[in-house]
A and B are shown apart, each in its own frame.
Chain A
């Protein structure tokens, strides 16, 4: 297997040993002499390969192992077993050459100096990453421009809104021109406009620089806007790894048909085609089994004078829920 992938892991596993203790004084006393532990598998043998320039959505419910995986890829956690290489480095060695080529942005953590303008934090990042002046200025000005930060960078960070801070945070984390971006909930808590701004910036950054991006998010709009490929993780194991468009194929057992007729019909007649989500005499939204879709469409077209008909996959967040549900279902 060629090794020039941006990220490559085999059997990547992380097990945490956590203390356990029952409630009550007796249990507290017992724990003084005999502490009990149990192993919690946060990531259970993950195989990944991400090519340079790919933008990958890394999805899963809370506690699925997303952040633990990102921490192992960025060097914050040492894997319990398995192998991991990012940009040709073993991240847990935390070599400076590696740390200079990556960035980890966590939506709930802050690298900016709270009391000072973001420009001061940018200067500090320049010193930390040993950036030559011309590159620093070019990169800084480009990021300020792309993120529309011009009016914000000379205000103390504490005076910025959450969204403005996040934009400044992202600019700060990209000054050193990282080749790989690990983004953990970068749009967390932001309003819709700001989410859209950050999404379009990330897409633009990826286009301009060919940087690889691995993104965890609970906002499906982030995924749809940025990621051609998604990896779904649940209970530390990969449930799905493939094109976003294939996700529905695998997990959604139905499609949604929206039919508009030229002439009214009896609304009760819609139920013979599938589950009726909504209906009027001239329009219906139907849920139809994936396999039966073609036949149902043919029936509707032959039975009615159809003005418009669309066939849609269910919304992506519904598909993801179905994927999680399939993992929970007894086999």
Chain B
């Protein structure tokens, strides 16, 4: 006698009326964000210390550029001490929005079996990272506001955005988050094929540092660097969101910047889709 003899109907006879896909994704992202926020509240002090630690980098840049601006009669390439202050204070938020799942994390994810656990679930693992980190961003924004207030008191930024700039900025920081998530996922997938990925990751981050507006506002870079940056996704993740709020920027440039973000999101999503297929195929062939 098998166990089926003891039940009136098996599970196969009682199909589940699953929620529609769109509602399921809204619920998934909502739950992931709520879960992540609850999780980050467990580490609120650590989060705050982490954010305060991150301020060191922009403050160094800011002090250097303000000194140069004052030494050159008040401005460098159109940036005054006040606009530099605005740039690097907004920088602190954009930098935090740029923190996504690191490509260095894939090795541990594979080694510890976390990836296998995700692969047996009926949802693409990227939604985990997008939803979870998005929840963290909500905490980050809340924690950032008082820090930005203190920085503003100390460095006196010149910031006078239009309503359009504020709206564009609010959209652009999430666009930046999506682009960086997708491209770093793409980069991390190299881990599936080779164990010698660290040098590649470092080269990518060096290029990003120089071509994104993180180190220096892109407007201060040589012409050829600005041209090169137009063909890469980095500026959409850093320089553009900052400039969208701080300026100087025209209405048309705002629209073009947002469209360019959309373009990189589509490129990233398509690339992740294909790379993921290959990565999983490789993973299920050799390790699982």
Contact = CB atoms under 8 A, between A and B. Distances in A.
Contacts of A206: 3
A52 B10 contact: yes
A177 B16 contact: yes
B258 to A, nearest CB: 30
Contacts of A54: 2-3
Interface string A93-128: 010100110111010111101011000100110111
A131 interface: yes
Nearest to B119: A76
Nearest to B112: A109
A178 B122 CA distance: 12
A94 B42 CA distance: 35
B202 interface: no
Interface in A126-153: 126-132, 135
A92 interface: yes
A115 B18 contact: no
A215 to B, nearest CB: 13
B4 A131 contact: no
Nearest to A100: B122
A75 B18 contact: no
Contacts of A96: 122-123
B163 interface: no
Contacts of B117: 106, 109-111
Contacts of B280: 94
A76 B288 contact: yes
A92 B284 contact: yes
B49 interface: no
Nearest to A180: B11
A210 B10 contact: yes
B19 interface: yes
B19 A179 contact: no
A132 B284 contact: no
Nearest to A68: B288
Residues of A in contact with B, size category: 35 or more
B226 interface: no
Interface in B253-288: 280-281, 284-288
A127 B10 contact: no
B7 A53 contact: yes
A199 interface: no
A207 B31 CA distance: 33
A209 interface: yes
A52 B31 contact: no
Nearest to A75: B120
B176 interface: no
Contacts of A99: 120-122
Contacts of B113: 106, 108-109
B38 interface: yes
B12 A179 contact: yes
Contacts of B30: 127
Interface in B109-127: 113-114, 116-117, 119-123
A210 B119 contact: no
Contacts of B18: 100, 129-132
Contacts of B10: 52-53, 179, 209-211
B120 A104 contact: yes
Given A52-B2, A52-B4, A52-B10, 8 more contacts: A51-B2, A76-B120, A77-B284, A115-B39, A124-B31, A131-B18, A132-B16, A135-B17
Interface of B: 2-7, 9-12, 16-19, 21, 24, 27-28, 30-32, 35, 38-39, 42-43, 113-114, 116-117, 119-123, 280-281, 284-288
27 contacts: A53-B3, A53-B7, A54-B2, A55-B3, A76-B120, A77-B284, A77-B288, A78-B285, A99-B120, A99-B122, A100-B18, A103-B120, A106-B113, A109-B114, A116-B35, A120-B35, A123-B31, A127-B32, A130-B21, A130-B24, A132-B18, A135-B16, A178-B11, A179-B10, A210-B4, A211-B10, A211-B11
